[in-house]
Structures are given as C-alpha cells and as structure tokens.
Copies of this chain bind each other. A is one copy, B any other.
Amino acid sequence: MISFANDYLEGAHEKVLNRLIETNMEQEFGYGSDSYSEEAIEKIKELIECPNASIRFLVGGTQTNQVVIDSVLDKFEGVLAPETGHINVREAGAIEYSGHKVLTLPSEKGKISAQSVNDYLDLFNQDETKEHMVTPGMVYISFPTEYGTLYSYDELEELSRVCHENNLPLFIDGARLGYGLVSDEADVTMKDIARFSDVFYIGGTKIGALCGEAVVFTKNNEPKQFVSIVKQHGALLAKGRLLGVQFLTLFTDNLYFDISKHAVDMSQKIKRAFLDKGYELYFDSPTNQQFVIMTNEQVKELNEHMSFATWEKYDDLHMVIRFVTSWGTSEENVEKLISYI
C-alpha cells in the first residue's frame, strides 16, 4: 500500500547506490579512515565554509544524539531540550542510559526560545544548593523540529548568543536538515547552522542515504578521543566507506539539496490540497511533514488506500494525522493521495 507514514520508507537515492557499486571492490581502510570519508568531509567543510570543522559519520539519529551528548557533557551535566524534543520522548531513554538527564524547557510547536534558556539559568543560578541539581551543560534543538517547524535566523542567532554567553554548547539535531534548509520559509543556510551551533548533524538516513548522519563539530571542539567514545558506544562502523561514499555522493552536485527540495515541494502540494478541500491544519509546516485534523471517519476511509501516522487524538470526533514526504516520494503517489481526500 502507498505510504506517507515516515521519511525512511525507501532505500537510497540511485546515485548513492550507483556510487556504492562503482567503489565496491576498492580496498579501503576501516573505521572512517577511508578515502571517500575524507573526500566527503572536505566537501562539507567547503560548503559550510568552516575549514577547522571536525566531521565524523555515524549510522543513525538516536545513536548520534547519544554519542554527541555524552561526549560533550561533563559527568554531572544534563542537556536542556524542548519538552517535545526527540531525545526527550522518542529515544527509549538513550540519553539517560548514558547517565545524563534531559532538562526540559517549555516548547511551542517544537521550538524553545532564548528567553526560556535564560529563565532556566536564572533560576538555577539563584538556587542556594545548586550543586544538588543537574548542571545544564548544553542545549539541544532540532532543525526542523519534530513538528516540521523552523527556527528563523533571528531566533537561532539569539539562542546561540544566550548559549555562548553562558558557555553552553548549542547542538542542532539535523535529522531532517535538508528538508528544513530548502523550505521557502527558511532564512538560514547550512553555513549559518554551522556558525550558530557548536555541533550539529546532517541527516542522511531520512534524506537519500541507506543510513548515516554526519556530525560536525564546528568550533575546533571535537571531544577528546572521540573515536574511542564512539567505539565504546558500539557506534563505530567497520566499513566507514559505506557512510563516506553516501555523503560524498549527497554532497556532490547539490544532490542533498535537490532531493530535499523535491520532498518539500511534494509536502507543500499535499498541504495546499488539504487546505483547498477545507481541512484544518494542526501545525502549518513549511517542510516535509504535514499535520492535518481529520474526522475519525475520514481517517478510516483514507486508511483503506494509504498508510500514514496517527499523531494524536484531537477530540472525540477528530484525529491529527501526519503525512510525510521524502526524497523518494513519487508525484504519482501524491496525486493519488490528493484524489482520495
């Protein structure tokens, strides 16, 4: 059945697969020291105009969040995050498993404000026995958020400023980074992401790769013996070439952004169709996810033709349904979806 359930339904972009085939029998060093990884790293450094960046490839999103947060934080520190952040709700406690508390901030449509960080720090610093509390050691946000929303340039700049004034590294989870950056409503580039953050990752799993996330430490700040920490987490891939070749392809000839654009175009088309037919949106998302309020009956009917994710109950008669597109979504399937609603 046609599915709009998530953005990891298909394999990889064909150019990525072709490059894997072409390079397949070359003998390469393992654990990230292969020539493709090195080349991919150079491509990304150029793109973000950050020659001193340190870049490493990991396999998946939760793994990346766990390894980055655990390696950046001191033992007694926790990570500030939106209460709706992926690390707080959908990673099976991977951050706590590594010993760190997720300290939650109130969020609106998945976003936190610089003010909320400031308020948290004020309360923390006023506390007479703050050594009995978890010390905030970094700030985590997602771009785009889990709700498909975006931080503006000004919001990121402000958040970044507050973080740096307080010596808190800012970590941007970019599992869907491409889908955010190519949105018509985005006013930041990947270079801005690199400048505002201390570490971020470029999602590959959801954007054209079989697997893989590129972690970028942007301020000459890769944690000491990072490779050992990755290995200790069971996250060091023997055939690092698998990640290197994929990212090299994605960052050749603008492929990463072109395929991201396709996904967002398809998503906006779906959004317009729903609006045209009088549906109400739960969030107005400018990226590759749409959250639509549908009656229980509409959901049931559509489900006979398509699969999708039930986000949450809206009220007794309605549900919030999520429709997700990706680099692999065909225009044909989008037309079919539109024809059914």
The residues of A with any CB-CB pair to B shorter than 8 Å are 2-3, 6, 8-12, 14, 17, 20-21, 23-28, 30-31, 59-67, 70-71, 74-76, 78, 89-94, 96-97, 99-102, 126, 128-129, 131-135, 205-206, 210-211, 224-225, 227-229, 231-239, 241-242, 309-310, 313, 328
Contact = CB atoms under 8 A, between A and B. Distances in A.
A131 B75 contact: no
Contacts of A6: 30
A60 B3 contact: no
A210 B242 contact: yes
Contact of A66 (B65, B71, B76, B234): B234
B11 A25 contact: yes
A135 to B, nearest CB: 6
A323 to B, nearest CB: 14
Contacts of A211: 59, 237-239, 242
Contacts of A129: 31, 90
30 contacts: A8-B30, A9-B28, A9-B30, A11-B23, A17-B20, A20-B210, A59-B59, A59-B237, A60-B234, A62-B236, A74-B225, A75-B232, A76-B225, A89-B133, A91-B132, A91-B231, A91-B232, A92-B229, A93-B134, A96-B96, A128-B309, A131-B225, A131-B228, A132-B228, A132-B236, A135-B225, A205-B238, A210-B239, A211-B238, A233-B234
Nearest to A227: B131
A226 to B, nearest CB: 9
Contact of A242 (B11, B78, B135): B11
